[in-house]
Amino acid sequence: MALGSVEVSVVLGLLNLLFLVFVVVQLPYLFGGVVQVARMGYSEYARRGFFELVWVAGLTLSLLLWAHWLVRGSGPAGQRTYRLLALGLVCLLLVVMASAVQRMQLYVESSGLTELRIQASVFMGWLAVVFVWFMLTVLRGDRRRFAFGALVSAFVVIGGLDVVNPDALIVRTNAHYGHLESEAPLDARPLASFSADATPAIVAALPQLSIQGQGVVLAELKVRFGHERNDPVDWRTFNWSRTHARAAIGNPRAD
């Protein structure tokens, strides 16, 4: 049996009510910050928030697109009702997304930034862009542009990661929050395992390490990128990142 605009409106209306009750009741949990962290820990607090967001966002977007297809021939009144209810769902979902961003920020401040946490944060940001694009296209009666725009935004986000330089961002963020040397003696393998793109940021952050830690990190970096590697000098093997890494190692800012 096909669903009409009335049935779709009832379903979306009930979902709006469910989301509203959830947000109101769970506000202390969604934005509880330090209180919730003390109860369940940073890792669990951030991880649960992220995966809850993924499931809710994915299911909600699929449902809204399906509902829009169902009411496509319902007339102006049905379309207006759908747009109003869909807009309410998206706004409530953005509240949950804001909570997930806040959770990840707390997690980074406590435990530092990693590649996986960057990927999770970028994915959350991309979801927000997709929902904004949904409001600008589907809710304005231009559904045909939605899929293409969502795909293009994904490529733009991926390209933006190359510009941001994730490895260097991880080093700078962890240096800002003091997570570069959390143990003694320093294990230099995590720092030295980054790509050449992160080497200038690592060298710039060396003054935050102990004298022993600076020596260990520099030794690891010189093994990987230093001039003593005796790599053949050839324009065909030129690499911009390795060149900058070698220049940074040659002029360390360590004390």
Query: Do 132 and 106 lie in a common domain?
Result: yes
Is 255 among the domain residues?
no
Q: Is the pLDDT of residue 54 over 60?
A: yes
Whether 14 and 119 map to the same domain: the answer is yes
Q: Indicate whether 49 and 111 sit together in one domain.
A: yes
Asked whether residue 62 falls in the same domain as residue 101, the answer is yes
Question: Is there a single domain that holds both residue 14 and residue 121?
Answer: yes
Whether residue 180 is contained in a domain is answered as: yes
* pLDDT (mean) for 49-75: 80
Among the three residues 159, 178, 202, which one is the final residue of a domain in this structure?
159
List the one residue out of 254, 136, 251, 242 whose CA is nearest residue 205: 254
Are 46 and 123 within one domain? yes
Model confidence at 225: pLDDT above 60? yes
What's the domain count of the chain? 2
206 and 138: one domain?
A: no
State the sign of the Cα–Cα–Cα–Cα dihedral 231, 236, 241, 246. Answer: positive
Do 188 and 150 belong to one domain?
A: no
- Tell me if 173 is assigned to some domain: yes
175 and 154 in a common domain: no
Task: Tell me, yes or no, whether 131 and 185 share the same domain.
Answer: no
Confidence tier at 218 by pLDDT (50, 70, 90):
confident
Contact 25, 72 (CB under 8 A): no
pLDDT in tens, 32-52: 656 656 665 656 666 666 677
pLDDT of 127 over the 80 cut: yes
Residue where a domain stops, chosen among 109, 129, 159: 159
Amino acid identity for residue 207 in this structure: P
Domain range for 228: 169-250
Per the CB < 8 A criterion, the answer to whether 140 and 172 are in contact is no
Considering only CA atoms, which of 128, 124, 146, 1 is closest in space to residue 68?
Answer: 146
Domain annotation covers residue 164: no
* 58 within domain boundaries: yes
Q: Are residues 25 and 92 in the same domain?
A: yes
Q: What's the pLDDT tens digit per position in 3-18? A: 567 778 888 888 888 8
Last residue of a domain, one of 159, 186, 211: 159
Distance CA 111, CA 173 (A): 11
Read off the pLDDT of residues 161-201 as tens digits, 9 standing for 90 and up: 888 888 888 888 888 887 776 555 555 556 666 777 878 88
For the whole model, what pTM was predicted? 0.74
199 and 145 within one domain: no
- Residue 179: left (phi > 0), alpha (psi -120 to 50), or beta? alpha
